[in-house]
């Protein structure tokens, strides 16, 4: 479980709102897995939602970077691309994936997201407040 707190704020309302939504989806998946819900379609709905939301969120941030001529865009986008590639390669929608697989995926995602927000997104947020 990952809990939003003000330390996560990047000082940009739009990005913060999307991060909260992402955290909500991740937490829904954590609950699903801990309850050992056996409804596979439910899991698939959540994973699809997460996959789509990550894509939408990255696009949103990248549009802001373009719009505001963010000088560190390349480094930031490379991090996004790293996660995009990983999600693609994992085949997260495979029916053969076990609960263990999703548990590990979630742990990695939580780790990636918290580091990315605290370091990379905060830099972007700081830039956007003055540019």
Give whichever of 31 and 75 is closer to Fe ion, judged by the CB atom. Answer: 75
Q: How far is the CB of 41 from Fe ion (least distance, A)?
A: 30
CB atoms within 10 A of CB 66: 11
Distance from C-alpha of 84 to C-alpha of 62, rounded to nearest angstrom:
13
Contacting residue, 121, 122, 125, 128, with Fe ion by CB under 5 A: 121
Within 13 Å, how many C-alpha atoms sit on residue 111's CB side?
6
Residue number, 47 or 76, with CB nearest to Fe ion: 76
Between CA 72 and CA 95 the distance in angstroms is 39
The site map against Fe ion for 41-80 (x = CB under 5 A) is --------------------x-------------------
Residue whose structure tokens are 């996560």: 8
Nearer to Fe ion, 16 or 61 (CB): 61
Count of residues in contact with Fe ion, rule CB under 5 A: 2
In the bound complex, what is the minimum distance in angstroms from residue 77's beta carbon to Fe ion?
A: 9
Q: How far is the CB of 124 from Fe ion (least distance, A)?
A: 7
Kindly state whether residue 16 participates in binding Fe ion, applying the rule CB under 5 A: no
Shortest separation between residue 63's beta carbon and Fe ion, angstroms: 12
Q: Interface residues with Fe ion (CB under 5 A)?
A: 61, 121
């Amino acid at each position: 479980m990952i809990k939003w707190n003000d330390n996560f704020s990047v000082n940009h309302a739009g990005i913060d709102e999307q991060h909260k939504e992402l955290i909500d989806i991740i937490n829904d998946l954590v609950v699903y897995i801990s309850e050992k819900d056996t409804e596979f379609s439910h899991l698939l709905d959540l994973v699809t939602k997460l996959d789509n939301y990550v894509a939408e969120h990255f696009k949103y941030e990248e549009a802001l970077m373009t719009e505001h001529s963010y000088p560190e865009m390349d480094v930031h986008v490379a991090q996004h691309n790293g996660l995009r590639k990983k999600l693609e390669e994992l085949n997260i929608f495979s029916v053969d994936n076990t609960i263990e697989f999703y548990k590990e995926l979630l742990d990695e995602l939580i780790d990636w997201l918290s580091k990315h927000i605290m370091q990379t997104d905060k830099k972007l947020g700081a830039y956007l407040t003055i540019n």
